[in-house]
């Protein structure tokens, strides 16, 4: 399955646990790292969870520094039922907090899982991720290349938005990797000792904003309306219902909708980032625009089959003839100079 919203360049990030100790997240952010996965803890065979002692401070610290943050849970889980218990417990520990990256099952313990069939390993992971998805979070699967090639049925995980794969040989080695952990020995400002380094190849935060954000607005179909743009210098448009998802032109600047009218496809049933928003067709694509009364507005579309024609003003004799003809039909004709 092709990745959704592939990025032009990989986005850099790290993952941390208690082994990195206290992290200076502002220094991590200043060094150019945009995301982090933090360890929630590990799940025992029966689904019970032992939390990482640095989980809370890593989760809040990374988010406060402006990084996109996800969570991972290391697995010793031994059955589908226990996977569901572990997922439920992980959700309790998150306590409804929003994540801008997925909730990940770290499934890599070969000494345990080599004894299981591909079908059983895959079913355990699916059971965990189904519970996570039902709770409104984006689930993800983490492992390393040789493990998935030996012990997993990766085709069965295709419905999920990619996977997070570890491979330190200089190549990913599998298809559909949304995140590649390419090193376990990185040196990152703000992190003591070695640190895992990652590259993200699709816009996971955007997927979460569109699909998983609690209370997100819905876009309802609407007919007979157009978006009229009357200030082309200010009317930005977006690839998603998010004012940060601006469309860029080839010069690397924010693109704008030219003056004119555009068919409106849907209208948001609430405010998006504080603004009314519409979905419209432009250049064969579906895009979004915020409604601001200093640059654009919704107007009625012309009725189908109704055509307005401008004709030259007739001379005085012609006007009398037209007026008399209209009187005979029961209405008057007026000429505007």
Distant-in-sequence, close-in-space partners of 264: CB < 8 Å, separation ≥ 6: 222, 225, 226, 227, 278, 279, 280, 298
Predicted local confidence at residue 326, as pLDDT: 52
Lowest mean pLDDT across 9-18, 75-84, 200-209: 200-209
Can you tell me the mean pLDDT for 176-189?
Answer: 95
Instruction: Write out the two tokens for 156.
Output: 């069965």
**Residue 172 corresponds to which tokens in the numbers above?**
């990913």
Asked whether the predicted pLDDT for residue 87 surpasses 80, the reply is yes
Can you give the chain as a three-state secondary structure string?
A: CCCCCEEEEEEEEEEECHHHCCCCHHHHHHCCCCEEEEEEEEECCCCCEEECCCHHHHHHHHHHCCCEEEEEEEECCCCHHHHHHHHHHHHHHHCCCCCCCCEEEECCCHHHHCCCCHHHHHHHHHHHHHHHHHCCCCEEEEEEHHHHHHHCCHHHHCCCCCEEEECCCCCCCCCCEEEEEEEEEECCCCCCCCEEEEEEEECHHHHHHHHCCCCCCCEEECCCEEEEECCCCCCECECCCCCCCECECCCCCECECCCEEEEEEEEECCCECCECEEEEEECCEEEEEECCCCCEEEEECCCCCCCCCCCCCCCHHHHHHHHHHHHHCCCCCCCCC
Given a cut of 80, whether residue 313 has pLDDT beyond it is no
Average pLDDT for 305-312: 49
Cross-strand partners of 227: 262, 298
Please tell me the number of Cα atoms within 13 Å of 315 on its side-chain side.
Answer: 1
* pLDDT score at 295: 93
Query: At residue 311, does pLDDT exceed 90?
Result: no
The pTM is what? Answer: 0.66
Query: How far, in Å, CA of 257 to CA of 288, rounded?
Result: 11
Q: From the CA atom positions of the chain, what is the Rg in Å?
A: 28
Taking residues 217-230, report their average pLDDT.
89
pLDDT category at 252 given cuts 50, 70, 90 is: confident
List the structure tokens of 207.
């997927």
Residue 213 has a pLDDT of 61
What whole-number distance in Å separates Cα of residue 79 and Cα of residue 120?
Answer: 8
């Amino acid at each position: 399955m092709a990745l959704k919203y592939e990025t032009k360049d990989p986005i850099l990030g790290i993952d941390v646990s208690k082994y990195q100790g206290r992290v200076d997240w502002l220094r991590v952010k200043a060094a150019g790292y945009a995301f982090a996965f933090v360890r929630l803890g590990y799940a025992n065979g029966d689904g019970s969870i032992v939390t990482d002692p640095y989980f809370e401070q890593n989760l809040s610290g990374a988010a406060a520094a402006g990084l996109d943050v996800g969570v991972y849970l290391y697995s010793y889980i031994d059955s589908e039922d226990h996977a569901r218990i572990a997922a439920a417990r992980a959700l309790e520990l998150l306590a409804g907090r929003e994540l801008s990256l997925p909730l990940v099952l770290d499934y890599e313990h070969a000494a345990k899982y080599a004894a299981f069939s591909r079908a059983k390993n895959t079913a355990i992971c699916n059971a965990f991720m189904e519970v996570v998805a039902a709770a409104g979070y984006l689930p993800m699967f983490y492992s390393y290349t040789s493990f998935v090639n030996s012990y997993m049925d990766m085709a069965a995980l295709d419905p999920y938005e990619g996977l997070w794969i570890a491979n330190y040989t200089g190549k990913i080695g599998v298809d559909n990797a949304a995140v590649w952990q390419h090193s376990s020995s990185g040196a990152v400002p703000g992190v003591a000792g070695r640190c895992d380094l990652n590259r993200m190849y699709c816009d996971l935060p955007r997927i979460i904003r569109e699909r998983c954000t609690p209370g997100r607005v819905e876009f309802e179909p609407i007919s007979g309306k157009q978006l009229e743009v009357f200030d082309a210098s200010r009317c930005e448009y977006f690839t998603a219902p998010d004012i940060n998802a601006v469309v860029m032109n080839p010069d690397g600047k924010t693109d704008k909708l030219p003056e004119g009218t555009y068919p409106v496809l849907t209208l948001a049933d609430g405010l998006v980032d504080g603004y009314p928003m519409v979905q419209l067709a432009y250049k064969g694509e579906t895009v979004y625009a915020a409604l601001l009364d200093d640059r654009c507005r919704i107007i009625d579309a012309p009725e189908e089959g109704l055509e307005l024609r401008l004709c030259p003003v007739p001379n005085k004799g012609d006007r009398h003839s037209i007026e008399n003809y209209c009187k005979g039909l029961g209405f008057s004709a007026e000429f505007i100079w």
